[in-house]
Amino acid sequence: MAGLLSRLFGKREQAPEIIDAATLAAWLASRDDVCVIDVRNPDEFVGPLGHIAGALNLPLPELATRRADIDALGDRTLVMVCLTDKRSGQACRDLVAAGVSRVVLLGGGMRGWHAASLPVVEAHG
């Protein structure tokens, strides 16, 4: 994992806190200062794996142009999610570089969430 983090964040950048699915589920059940941001494409967000209830879909390619959406979340802790944790890792790096310090990475992404048998909002129809 350390090798992956150094490749994602480099030596001079601060790597975000990484949490697992069980920790995120506990945070969502007990805290109101957490926002899940799913950086997958819209078709993935509503696709077969679904998404975490309450997640905001901000696809990675749109993240820079949707800074107002990030700023509107105030001081909430932002938990970045994707399929695994590659795109969400990039999103963390981009946000930290832009001065957002309250960024956390869901290790394992939606695959990890599913492996932990946690609930999702599934696509309809």
For the chain, the distance separating the N- and C-terminal CA atoms, rounded to the nearest angstrom, is 38
Question: How confident is the model at residue 8, as a pLDDT?
Answer: 55
Question: How confident is the model at residue 125, as a pLDDT?
Answer: 45
Which CATH number is 2-115 given? 3.40.250.10
* Ranges of each domain in the chain: 2-115
Question: pLDDT per residue over 11-54, tens digit each?
Answer: 455 678 999 999 999 999 999 999 999 999 999 999 989 999 99
The CA dihedral of 97, 103, 108, 112, to the nearest 10 degrees, is -160
The model scores a pTM over 0.85? yes
Question: pLDDT per residue over 56-102, tens digit each?
Answer: 999 999 999 999 999 999 999 999 999 999 999 999 999 999 999 89
